[in-house]
Structure 1
């Protein structure tokens, strides 16, 4: 079940088009009265033009472009876009100007709306349960960025084992004394990951792909914890250890990686950090709010956590200054999934979800079916 790097339906990887509004949209809006409506949030698509043309042949496409929350609410109340049957958001950095999708916003959707297909893996900004209660299936695009996020997790993992942050900062300082200190002392405090235990919290597509890479490249021993045991993935990985509870994972892992959705509460705080192996490493490529960052600073100060690699942060775009200033913490700007291949896949997968589900088939990447089923 590994996730292959997504490729566009168009041949090759063409450069992004500057605009398609005058071409594809003119096609999609013709004979619109006979077609169900899709509301496209945010910017033009850039890569999957043939598939977007197909979408326009099947549906009438309305556009919100970039619009603020109050304007968006007013437009929904006034039925500016009619009784649309689905929403499409192809990019994570546009089309979200209306803010969190909560009851206030969701309640304004027309009852005709049955699916919201959006870019990105995380969905902490949308109340998927409330969407389900209003009859809307929410589809994310995690599989499209699986390869990019898993690669970033490997990079952060290596930085925690090998003190690459210290080495990088010393070299970048252009200070011979700092360079000399790193050059002479790093070997005494760093290790290879080979043969150590990687504990993954969340064996979804990204966690699974990370496990594959870590086992193949570094012969790491993999343990995981998830809400349910996934024996099919255990078998495909060729042997991993299932930890029924989080404590079991923490006490046995040399490096813990967070690869699980944020569900409204902190997962790793002071109590959990006390259960880590002394000097263990921590990597987060999921959501920043899963970690109590003040507690992480304390754990680093006490040597409980030996090093950390953080792509995500609790109060983005603000990075905790006591984490950013440490030479044993690698910090990134929430870019783990940021690649051309991911964006191509986000575009494509959102349209495929819409075409499949609204065509009478199944949603390809739904995340809230458990609540939809309860409503049926």
Structure 2
């Protein structure tokens, strides 16, 4: 019998050659070229069954292998019925309609557990920055002007606070949210509250710094001194002008999830009115374009979508994509399934 076919989308493996060699012994791996991955060519290849009845797709890196664009109602119906699993790097999956994949019987697996440490560390960077108004100090130190330096040196401390004892509200207590909560509790002595449509067990809450669940997002927003978004990037705007108005006056907002979850214009208005005292954004609504009003604001700490950008993350993404494919095709449980709960029983 011929070996199952695995479609490898993106650059060659860099970090786990032994695992890839093992995979190549078990399966036939096809690596479409960059030209073949462009959307028109990719769709035509699927229509013509160019790669046969492949059983799995793996995308080991988050910056390559996505040239075909969104996996949507145009693309997904063209996939062969033999396809069982799509395993991709990255924690977010806003570029793939995982519900449609589930309807087609295709399991989607992400790389969230590989990036949890790096993303959580970036979240802590932003949390300390928005509490201590570090952006004011950072901008003043680089201004090259003595008066600006001394202004921040003398006055920024009157607007800064220690995170200790404040309530951190986590939106989405998944793999990444749980690590953020644990680190913030242990490092800063913060009180952890969260909202998740799938409430966690008592053991999971205890491990996440003694996190307390809220029955609604609105309830949590009203309670938190700082809100961290760690939810999957799907379903449109999560934080808009209405939701910001539900937060405490002078609260802080951190987003390390997906830029599209936050209305940048509403954030700018809230900073100007004082409804928000500071924001920390690793992801942005219109990447790579960042709202110039945020760029100019000393109340906004900004990074360029690098929360997961550690070497260990890339190694883990690559490994997980291959291990998920291997497990599913050999009848073992997937390691990081995203849409398994959407499958019809």
The interval holding the TM-score normalised by the smaller chain is over 0.9
Which one of 219, 240, 244 corresponds to residue 215 of structure 2? 244
SS in 2 for 1:223: strand
Q: Distance in 1 between matches of 2:282 and 2:208?
A: 25
Deviations 1:234-265 (A, max 9, x none): 13235222111112111111110000012222
Structure 1 runs, 4 residues or longer, greater than 3 Å off: none
**How many positions carry a matched residue from both structures?**
342
Q: Which moved more, 1:231-240 or 1:329-338?
A: 231-240
Aligned to 2:29: 61
Matched, 1:308 2:279: yes
Q: Distance in 2 between matches of 1:153 and 1:324?
A: 19
CA contact (8 A) 2:84 2:107 kept: yes
**1:118 CA displacement:** 0.2
2:178 aligned residue = 208
* Contact preservation (8 Å) 1:299, 1:305: yes
Partner of 2:301: 330
Please, which of 161, 168, 175 is the counterpart of residue 191 of structure 1? 161
1:40 to 8, 25, 32: 8
The answer as to whether partners of 2:253 and 2:278 remain within 8 angstroms in 1 is yes
Which residue in 2 is equivalent to 1:162? 132
User: Which of 12, 19, 41 in structure 2 is aligned with 1:71?
Assistant: 41
**8 Å contact kept, 2:279–2:299:** yes
Q: C-alpha separation between the residues in 2 aligned to 1:171 and 1:355? A: 51
Shift of 1:109: 1.1
Deviations 1:115-142 (A, max 9, x none): 1000000000001111111111100010
Does structure 1 retain, via aligned residues, the 8 Å contact 2:193–2:220? yes
Segments of 5+ residues of structure 1 without an aligned counterpart are 1-32
Where do residues 58-207 of structure 1 align in structure 2 (5 Å cutoff)?
58-66=26-34, 67-207=37-177
SS across alignment from 2:341 = helix
> Aligned Cα RMSD in Å?
1.2
Secondary structure of the residue aligned to 1:131 is helix
Structure 2 unmatched ranges of 5 or more:
none
Instruction: Please state if 1:339 is matched with 2:313.
Output: no
